[in-house]
Amino acid sequence: MEVGAPRKSVDLILLFLIVGLTLFGLIMMTSASSVVAERFRGDPYFFFKHQALYGGLGGVVAFVIGIFMPYKYWRILALPGLILALILLVLVFIPGLRLEYGGASRWIGVGPLTLQPTEITKLAFIIYLAALLERKGEDIRDFRKSVMPFLVITGLIGGLIALQPDIGTLFTIAAIAGAMVFASGFRFRHLAIIALAGAALFAVLLNTARYRLARVIVFLNPDLDQQGIGYQVAQSLLAVGTGGIWGLGFGRSRQKYQYLPEPASDSIFAIIAEELGFVRSSIVLAIFALIGWRGFEIALKAPDVFARLVAVGITSWILLQAFVNIGSILGILPLTGIPLPFVSYGGSALVTNLLAAGILLNISRYNSSQ
């Protein structure tokens, strides 16, 4: 189906939510990173400047492109985008290009610029999978013609991500894929096979690395070794508890004084809860819930299968990643090390999040009024 001129303006509610959350994230990231920036960079605003320059400016450009570029063109770019993502995933293993941190090789560095390929891969995978599932048409319920190609491409991407290793991102991509194939019409027995295979794979991955198993053990026993493997969970919960109902006040976090690991990225929600308190940090949860509502509304009214599946994939991605990030901070999920969308420090993540949000908004311009 050819898509003509857009029928209406973008979803204004979603637009305001995305812009507001991004600005809020930049403000909170500045507060959360100020102590570390002052100590190691000599400038309390170092990470703010870096995020604004590389993530903010690039993100604004990506956001505008996403909003105004007709979504049908992303179907054409699906295969080149996936190939680019695969190349970038391979480059993280190339000496001289890869950057290692905490025992993981997840970044590419060229001069002052760094890039996290898994962030680009998430969006590239969503677009490619949507195009693939749309092409299957009536064959979507055929195991050989639909399920096998899905397993091959998901397995290839998942394998490269697992080697970095980045199990949090692997889980996120697997969950996004599950939401998309469910929305596409896979048979329930095929979904069950995929779910069982995925569960078995994650069980193997947990038992082949001590630190992964340790995170699960800490999740099941939160009081275990609070000065060792349980340290980050303990400090996160302490920050959340210290914030109380109304918080200590903006900029007054105690945990960001190098007690809480990764205060501006993985653990930023703990700083939000500590400084702003339960009531105001709950507003962040409400914003993500509203983004999910608007995103799935856009998917339900999408003009074609490709647009519907892209909308499902992007919305699921934002919600799943927010749930996993916040859930790990609150101790209801094991720690995974994935960022909070639109909020955590990281230029690659912010640019890709905003591009994805822009695409979702563009789809909303073509939605039916039914």
State the chain's mean pLDDT as an integer.
Answer: 86
158-184 per-position pLDDT tens digit: 888 888 777 788 888 989 999 998 898
In a domain, 143, yes or no: yes
Tell me the residue ranges of DSSP E strands in the chain. 98-101, 104-110, 113-115
Could you give phi then psi for residue 110, rounded to 5 degrees? Answer: -130, 105
Structure token pair of residue 205: 């991955």
In a domain, 58, yes or no: no
- Window from 1-5, 29-33, 332-336 with minimum mean pLDDT: 1-5
- pLDDT of 303 reads 92
In a domain, 199, yes or no: yes
In a domain, 160, yes or no: yes
- pLDDT of 1 reads 42
Provide the residue range defining the domain that includes 324: 75-340
In a domain, 358, yes or no: no
Count of domains for the chain: 1
Q: Cβ distance 330 to 265 under 8 Å?
A: no
Question: Which of the pair, 94 or 216, is modelled with greater confidence?
Answer: 94
Alpha-carbon distance of 131 to 217, in angstroms, equals 40
In a domain, 189, yes or no: yes
- pLDDT of 283 reads 96
Give the CA radius of gyration of the chain. 20
Q: Cβ distance 5 to 366 under 8 Å?
A: no
Please, which residues bridge with residue 101 across strands? 104
Q: Residue 39 pLDDT > 70, yes or no?
A: yes
Structure token pair of residue 201: 């794979």
Structure token pair of residue 101: 């941190």
In a domain, 22, yes or no: no
Q: pTM of the prediction?
A: 0.90
In a domain, 17, yes or no: no
- Window from 86-95, 101-110, 115-124 with minimum mean pLDDT: 101-110
